[in-house]
């Protein structure tokens, strides 16, 4: 699919769509946070593009937790994983643009694959963490989520009392992050389906759209029965399978940290 319109025309068209829309939803991925210094997985400078061994290890995390939760926790807390960097990261102009769009009531929800908590740090209130959130713990049994500060993890490590146990049901706690081979938490999965069912404009920002079941969401939006057509706009550094298969109506090719603020600026100009 080749866009005949210029970048400026596509930005203006997207702003118009958002203003007229009843329910705009944004789907986001790792590309959204590269400008915050967090590498993506599969982009040209991605963690896995550069280090395929890291990808192999990521596929083992969930089994390691199931087999030996104590060891899983020791490795998480003492290892040199990139996950430690996520906690320190700060939102970039792309995140702030989506927060602004929610503030003026033109963005109803973000469904993110990112685990970095940056949409929340930017100020968005309605965020569905499809793959969990690095800043939370989740019980393996009852699925309750907790702030890690409630658990004094460093103390538990020093006293060899890991893993932490749930205060509600005494089940074992893991990170809220959804590991490969682990099911998407049911509450998030069903809320995401509802949002997709309602949306008439979907902005898909910084994702290669190859991780399932998340990558099903735009496809469901496109084919949702008995509702008006959802317009799907991709904002991504490169074309994706959604572009190639015609699932998205068009792509605005470039950086989310540049394009999203321009869209929001255009929205405000048109509304004033």
Nearer to ligand NAD, 135 or 207 (CB): 207
Q: Which of 95, 119, 131, 179 is catalytic?
A: 131
- Regarding 27 and contact with ligand NAD (CB under 6 A), the answer is no
CB of 250 to ligand NAD, least distance (A): 15
CB of 55 to ligand NAD, least distance (A): 10
Considering only residues 189 through 218, tell me which ones interact with ligand NAD, judged by CB under 6 A: 206-208, 211
φ/ψ of residue 97, rounded to 5: -65, -45
CB of 227 to ligand NAD, least distance (A): 26
CB of 82 to ligand NAD, least distance (A): 8
Considering only residues 115 through 174, tell me which ones interact with ligand NAD, judged by CB under 6 A: 115-116, 131
- Regarding 179 and contact with ligand NAD (CB under 6 A), the answer is no
What 224-232 contacts at long range (C-beta under 8 Å, 24+ apart), as own/partner pairs, is 224/196, 224/197, 227/197, 228/200, 229/200, 230/199, 230/200, 230/201, 230/202, 231/17, 231/21, 231/200, 231/201, 231/202, 232/202, 232/204
Q: Per-residue b/e over 94-129, b at no fewer than 16 CB within 10 Å? A: bbbbbbbbbeeebbbbbbbbbbbbbbbbbebeebbb
How many beta carbons lie within 10 A of that of residue 199, not counting itself?
26
| 241 neighbors 211 (Cβ within 8 angstroms) | no
CB of 24 to ligand NAD, least distance (A): 18
Whole-number Å distance between alpha carbons of 233 and 256: 12
| 104 neighbors 92 (Cβ within 8 angstroms) | no
- Regarding 21 and contact with ligand NAD (CB under 6 A), the answer is no
Copy the structure tokens of residue 212.
């399932």
Q: Which of 17, 24, 43, 231 binds ligand NAD (CB under 6 A)?
A: 43
Copy the structure tokens of residue 47.
């963690």
Nearer to ligand NAD, 185 or 257 (CB): 257
Roughly how many angstroms between the first and final C-alpha of the chain, as a whole number?
Answer: 34
Whole-number Å distance between alpha carbons of 113 and 31: 10
Of 62-70, 108-116, 148-156, 160-168, which segment contacts ligand NAD by CB under 6 A? 108-116
Whose tokens are 């109803």? That residue is: 108
CB of 226 to ligand NAD, least distance (A): 29
Copy the structure tokens of residue 72.
């899983």
Of 25-33, 103-111, 158-166, 191-199, which segment contacts ligand NAD by CB under 6 A? 25-33
Nearer to ligand NAD, 46 or 185 (CB): 46
- Regarding 38 and contact with ligand NAD (CB under 6 A), the answer is yes
Q: Is 23 a catalytic residue?
A: no
Nearer to ligand NAD, 14 or 207 (CB): 207
Question: Which residues are marked as active site?
Answer: 131
Instruction: State the residues that interact with ligand NAD by CB under 6 A.
Output: 29-31, 33-35, 38, 40-43, 46, 113-116, 131, 206-208, 211, 236-238, 240, 255-257
């Amino acid at each position: 699919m080749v866009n005949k319109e210029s970048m400026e025309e596509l930005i203006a068209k997207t702003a118009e769509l958002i203003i007229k829309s009843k329910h705009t939803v944004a789907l986001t991925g790792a590309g959204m946070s590269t400008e915050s210094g967090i590498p993506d997985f599969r982009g040209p400078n991605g963690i896995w593009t550069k280090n395929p061994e890291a990808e192999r290890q990521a596929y083992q995390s969930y089994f390691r937790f199931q087999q030996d939760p104590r060891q899983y926790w020791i490795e998480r807390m003492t290892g040199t994983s990139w996950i430690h960097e996520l906690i320190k990261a700060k939102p970039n102009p792309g995140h702030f643009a989506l927060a602004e769009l929610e503030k003026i009531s033109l963005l109803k929800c973000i469904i993110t694959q990112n685990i970095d908590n940056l949409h929340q740090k930017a100020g968005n209130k309605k965020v569905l963490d499809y793959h969990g959130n690095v800043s939370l713990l989740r019980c393996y049994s009852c699925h309750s989520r907790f702030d890690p500060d409630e658990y004094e993890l460093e103390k538990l490590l020093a006293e060899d009392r890991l893993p932490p146990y749930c205060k509600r049901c005494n089940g074992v706690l893991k990170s809220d992050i959804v590991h490969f081979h682990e099911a998407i938490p049911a509450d998030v999965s069903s809320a995401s389906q509802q949002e997709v069912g309602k949306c008439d404009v979907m902005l898909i920002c910084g994702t290669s759209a190859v991780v399932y079941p998340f990558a099903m969401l735009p496809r469901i939006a496109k084919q949702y029965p008995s509702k008006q057509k959802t317009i799907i706009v991709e904002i991504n550094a490169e074309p994706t399978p959604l572009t190639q298969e015609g699932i998205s109506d068009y792509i605005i090719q470039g950086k989310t940290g540049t394009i999203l603020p321009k869209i929001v600026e255009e929205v405000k100009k048109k509304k004033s």
